[in-house]
Amino acid sequence: MDTPVRPTDAEGREILDSVVIRFAGDSGDGMQLAGMQFTEATAVAGNDLATFPDFPAEIRAPAGTTFGVSGFQIHFASHDVLTPGDEPDVLVAMNPAALKVNLRDVPKGGLVILNTGAFTPGNLKKAGYTRNPLEDGTLDGYRTLEIDVSKLVLAAVEPHGLGTKDALRAKNLWILGLLYWLFSRDRTPTVEWLRRKFAKRPDLAEANIAALNAGHVYGETAELPTGISVYKIPKAHLSEGHYRNVTGNEALAWGLAAAGRLAQLPVFFGSYPITPASSVLHTLAGLKHFGVTTFQAEDEIAAICSAIGAAYAGVIGVTATSGPGMALKGEAMGLAIMTELPLVILDVQRAGPSTGMPTKTEQSDLFQAVWGRNGDSPLVVLAPATPGECFAFAIEAVRIALEYMTPVIVLSDGYIANGAEPWSIPNFADLPAITVKFRQDPTGFNPYLRDPETLARNWAKPGTPGLEHRIGGLEKDFDSGHISYDADNHQKMTDTRAAKVQGVANSLPEQTVDCGDDHGDLAVVGWGSTYGSIQQAVRRARREGLSVSHVHVRHMWPMPRNLHALLSRFERILVPELNTGQLVKILRAEYLVPAQPLDKTSGMPFRVSEIAQGIRDALAKP
Amino acid sequence: MDTPVRPTDAEGREILDSVVIRFAGDSGDGMQLAGMQFTEATAVAGNDLATFPDFPAEIRAPAGTTFGVSGFQIHFASHDVLTPGDEPDVLVAMNPAALKVNLRDVPKGGLVILNTGAFTPGNLKKAGYTRNPLEDGTLDGYRTLEIDVSKLVLAAVEPHGLGTKDALRAKNLWILGLLYWLFSRDRTPTVEWLRRKFAKRPDLAEANIAALNAGHVYGETAELPTGISVYKIPKAHLSEGHYRNVTGNEALAWGLAAAGRLAQLPVFFGSYPITPASSVLHTLAGLKHFGVTTFQAEDEIAAICSAIGAAYAGVIGVTATSGPGMALKGEAMGLAIMTELPLVILDVQRAGPSTGMPTKTEQSDLFQAVWGRNGDSPLVVLAPATPGECFAFAIEAVRIALEYMTPVIVLSDGYIANGAEPWSIPNFADLPAITVKFRQDPTGFNPYLRDPETLARNWAKPGTPGLEHRIGGLEKDFDSGHISYDADNHQKMTDTRAAKVQGVANSLPEQTVDCGDDHGDLAVVGWGSTYGSIQQAVRRARREGLSVSHVHVRHMWPMPRNLHALLSRFERILVPELNTGQLVKILRAEYLVPAQPLDKTSGMPFRVSEIAQGIRDALAKP
Amino acid sequence: MDTPQKLTRKDFVSDQEVRWCPGCGDYAILAAMQRTLPELGATRENTVFVSGIGCSSRFPYYMNTYGFHTIHGRAPAVATGVKLANPALDVWVVTGDGDGLSIGGNHLLHVLRRNVDLQILMFNNRIYGLTKGQYSPTSLVGAKTPSTPMGSIDMPLNPCAFALGANARFVARGIDTSTSTLGELFTAAYRHRGTSFVEILQNCPVFNDGEWEAVTMRDVASEHQLWVEHGKPLLFGKDRNRGLRLAAGGRHVEVVTIGENGVTEADVAVHDQTNRTLGFMLAQLALPGFPMAFGVLFCDPMPSYDATVGAQNADALTRLGTGDIDKLLRGGHTWTVE
Amino acid sequence: MDTPQKLTRKDFVSDQEVRWCPGCGDYAILAAMQRTLPELGATRENTVFVSGIGCSSRFPYYMNTYGFHTIHGRAPAVATGVKLANPALDVWVVTGDGDGLSIGGNHLLHVLRRNVDLQILMFNNRIYGLTKGQYSPTSLVGAKTPSTPMGSIDMPLNPCAFALGANARFVARGIDTSTSTLGELFTAAYRHRGTSFVEILQNCPVFNDGEWEAVTMRDVASEHQLWVEHGKPLLFGKDRNRGLRLAAGGRHVEVVTIGENGVTEADVAVHDQTNRTLGFMLAQLALPGFPMAFGVLFCDPMPSYDATVGAQNADALTRLGTGDIDKLLRGGHTWTVE
Ligand SMILES: Cc1ncc(C[n+]2csc(CCOP(=O)(O)OP(=O)(O)O)c2C)c(N)n1
Ligand SMILES: Cc1ncc(C[n+]2csc(CCOP(=O)(O)OP(=O)(O)O)c2C)c(N)n1
Ligand code: SF4
Ligand code: SF4
Ligand SMILES: [Mg+2]
Ligand SMILES: [Mg+2]
Measured in degrees and rounded to the nearest 5, phi and psi for residue D95 equal -145, 170
ipTM value > 0.90:
yes
Cβ proximity of A436 and A428 under 8 Å: no
Mean pLDDT check: name the lowest of B223-227, B421-425, B537-541: B223-227
What's the pLDDT at B1? 44
More confident residue, A167 or B480: B480
What's the pLDDT at B607? 95
Give per-residue pLDDT as tens, A426-442.
Answer: 999 999 999 999 999 99
Give per-residue pLDDT as tens, B307-343.
Answer: 999 999 999 999 999 999 999 999 999 999 999 999 9
What's the pLDDT at D4? 56
What's the pLDDT at C29? 98
**CB under 8 Å to A476, separation ≥6 — which residues?**
A338, A448, A482, A483, A484, A493
**Which chain B residues touch A104 with a CB distance below 8 Å?**
none
- What percent of chain C has a predicted confidence (pLDDT) above 90? 92
Q: Sorting pLDDT into bands at 50, 70 and 90, what band is A7?
A: confident
What's the pLDDT at B224? 77
CA distance D219 to D216: 8
What's the pLDDT at A447? 97
CA distance B582 to A589: 10
CA distance C299 to C274: 5
Q: Read out DSSP for A27-49? A: GGG-HHHHHHHHHHHHHHTT-EE
CATH 3.40.50.720 fits D9-211, yes or no: no
Residue A278, CB-side half-sphere exposure with 13 Å CA sphere: 19
Smallest CA–CA distance, residue B4 to chain A, in Å, is 31
What's the pLDDT at C30? 98
Terminal-residue alpha carbon distance, chain D: 56
CA distance C11 to A544: 63
Residue C4 predicted with pLDDT over 70? no
> Mutation test of the interface with chain C: which of B48, B240, B289, choosing the one with the most C Cβ atoms within 10 A?
B289
**Which chain B residues touch C319 with a CB distance below 8 Å?**
289
If you average pLDDT over residues A399-413, what whole number do you get?
98
CA distance C52 to B179: 60
What's the pLDDT at A114? 94
Candidates A212, A244, A270; CA nearest to A39 is A244
What's the pLDDT at D249? 52
Average pLDDT value for chain B: 94
Ligand nearest to the CA of C26: 3
Give per-residue pLDDT as tens, C233-280.
Answer: 999 999 999 999 987 555 578 999 999 999 999 999 999 999 999 999
Which range of A175-189, B165-179, B361-375 scores highest in mean pLDDT? It is: B361-375
**CB under 8 Å to B211, separation ≥6 — which residues?**
B153, B156, B157, B170, B171, B173, B174, B177
Alpha carbon separation from A321 to A249, A281, A307, A580, A582 (Å, rounded): 11, 10, 13, 22, 20
What's the pLDDT at C249? 52
- CB atoms B282 and D53 under 8 Å: no
**Which chain C residues touch D281 with a CB distance below 8 Å?**
277
Pocket residue to mutate for ligand 1, from C123, C131, C208, C211, most atoms within 8 A of Cβ: C131
If you average pLDDT over residues B227-247, what whole number do you get?
86
C129–A contact, CB cutoff 8 A: yes
Tell me how crowded residue D156 is: count the other CB atoms within 10 A of its CB: 19
> Mutation test of the interface with chain D: which of B272, B289, B329, B354, choosing the one with the most D Cβ atoms within 10 A?
B272
Ligand nearest to the CA of A27: 3
Tell me how crowded residue D90 is: count the other CB atoms within 10 A of its CB: 20
Cβ-nearest to D19 among B62, B275, B296: B62
What's the pLDDT at B3? 43
Q: Sorting pLDDT into bands at 50, 70 and 90, what band is A165?
A: confident
* Positions in chain D whose pLDDT score sits under 50: 1
Which residues does residue D256 pair with via DSSP β-bridges, in sequence order? D243
Which residues does residue C168 pair with via DSSP β-bridges, in sequence order? none
What atom of ligand 3 comes closest to residue C20's alpha carbon?
Answer: 5
- CB atoms B296 and D132 under 8 Å: no
CA distance B293 to B285: 7
Which residues does residue B407 pair with via DSSP β-bridges, in sequence order? B343
If you average pLDDT over residues B260-286, what whole number do you get?
98
What's the pLDDT at A299? 98
- What percent of chain A has a predicted confidence (pLDDT) above 70? 99
CA distance A100 to A26: 12
Give per-residue pLDDT as tens, A219-252.
Answer: 888 877 777 778 888 888 888 889 999 999 999 9
What atom of ligand 4 comes closest to residue B58's alpha carbon?
Answer: 5
Ligand 2 pocket at CB < 6 A: B 272-274, 300, 324-325, 328, 355; D 53-56, 72, 96-99, 123, 125, 127-131, 136
Give per-residue pLDDT as tens, B452-480.
Answer: 999 999 999 999 999 999 999 999 999 99
CA distance A362 to A357: 10
What atom of ligand 3 comes closest to residue C133's alpha carbon?
Answer: 1
- CB atoms D85 and A268 under 8 Å: yes
Our measurement of the distance from residue B365's CA atom to the centroid of its chain's CA atoms, rounded to an integer in Å, reads 15
CA distance A270 to A274: 13
Cβ proximity of A471 and A481 under 8 Å: yes
Cβ proximity of D55 and D62 under 8 Å: no
Give distance in angstroms: CA of C136 to centre of ligand 3: 14
Give per-residue pLDDT as tens, A46-62.
Answer: 899 999 988 877 777 77
Buried b (16+ CB within 10 A) or exposed e, C279-301: bbbbbbbeeeebbbbbbbbbbbe
- CB atoms C158 and D167 under 8 Å: yes
Give per-residue pLDDT as tens, A25-39.
Answer: 998 889 999 999 999
CA distance C48 to B40: 50
Give distance in angstroms: CA of C144 to centre of ligand 3: 17
What's the pLDDT at A4? 45
Residue C196 predicted with pLDDT over 60? yes
What's the pLDDT at B223? 75
Give distance in angstroms: CA of B355 to centre of ligand 2: 11
What's the pLDDT at A2? 43
Give per-residue pLDDT as tens, B79-94.
Answer: 889 899 999 999 999 9
Residue A110 predicted with pLDDT over 70? yes
C202 lines ligand 3 (CB under 6 A): no
Mean pLDDT check: name the lowest of A5-14, A374-383, D143-152, D222-231: A5-14
A356 lines ligand 1 (CB under 6 A): no
What atom of ligand 4 comes closest to residue D208's alpha carbon?
Answer: 2
**CB under 8 Å to C323, separation ≥6 — which residues?**
B257, B261, B287, B289, B290, B291
More confident residue, B366 or B60: B366
* For ion ligand 6, residues whose CB falls within 5 Å: D 96-98, 125
Nearest residue CA, atom 7 of ligand 2?
Answer: B274
What's the pLDDT at D1? 45
**Which chain C residues touch A272 with a CB distance below 8 Å?**
102-103
- Please report all neighbours of C, defined by 3+ CB atom pairs within 8 A: A, B, D
What's the pLDDT at A596? 98
Cβ proximity of B415 and B449 under 8 Å: no
Give per-residue pLDDT as tens, D160-170.
Answer: 999 999 999 99
Which range of A166-170, B54-58, C125-129 scores highest in mean pLDDT? It is: C125-129
Q: What global pTM score does this model have?
A: 0.94
Candidates A285, A303, A286, A306; CA nearest to A294 is A285
Average pLDDT value for chain D: 95
Residue A467 predicted with pLDDT over 80? yes
Residue B2 predicted with pLDDT over 50? no
**Which chain A residues touch C135 with a CB distance below 8 Å?**
296
Give per-residue pLDDT as tens, C43-82.
Answer: 999 999 999 999 999 999 999 999 999 999 999 999 999 9
- CB atoms D80 and A295 under 8 Å: yes
Nearest residue CA, atom 5 of ligand 4?
Answer: D20
At residue B452, what is the residue type? P
CA distance C315 to D149: 12
